Amino acid sequence: MSDIETESRHIEMKEIFQDILDMEDVFGVMLFSPEGKLLFKEFPLPPPEDPETRDWWPLFTASLDGVKEADLLFDQRRLYIRETDMGYLMVLMGSLAPTAMLRLSCDTLLPNLKEKRPARGLMRIFKRRS
């Protein structure tokens, strides 16, 4: 993928997650493949450590196998995890972030994260030709 395509994809993904990023007490969003590869990250303020420097993400995402949704609570932070067609969405937030609003936003954005697959079966026959 070229730099232009990569930048275009990043902008497209940021638009998908913008409602979540604009929420009160949300620090950032990360999207991981099921194999633990970081597909997207956006933090309005730089995190103390770049998530890409951690090599345990594949182990962490493998441990999530079958988890549809999780909300991990820590002393001063929360990590909301949601399964998507592309892998796992992780939202880093503070204790005051509106969880119900976050879940609703995820429900509305999940269809945008479906992988584009070629048409199959009869739909391929009826597909418009340009």
Q: Tens digits of per-residue pLDDT, 22-72?
A: 999 999 999 999 888 999 999 988 777 777 777 788 888 888 888 999 999
Q: What are phi and psi of 28, to 5 degrees?
A: 175, 165
Residue 5, pLDDT above cutoff 80: no
72-101 pLDDT, tens per residue?
A: 999 889 999 999 999 999 999 998 999 999
* Residue range of the domain that includes 58: 3-126
Round to whole Å and give the CA distance between 16 and 39: 14
| Residue 35 near residue 56, CB atoms below 8 Å | no
Residue 128 amino acid letter: R
Burial of 102 (0-12, 13-18, 19+ CB in 10 A): buried
Find the CATH number of the domain harbouring 90: 3.30.450.30
How many structural domains is the chain composed of? 1
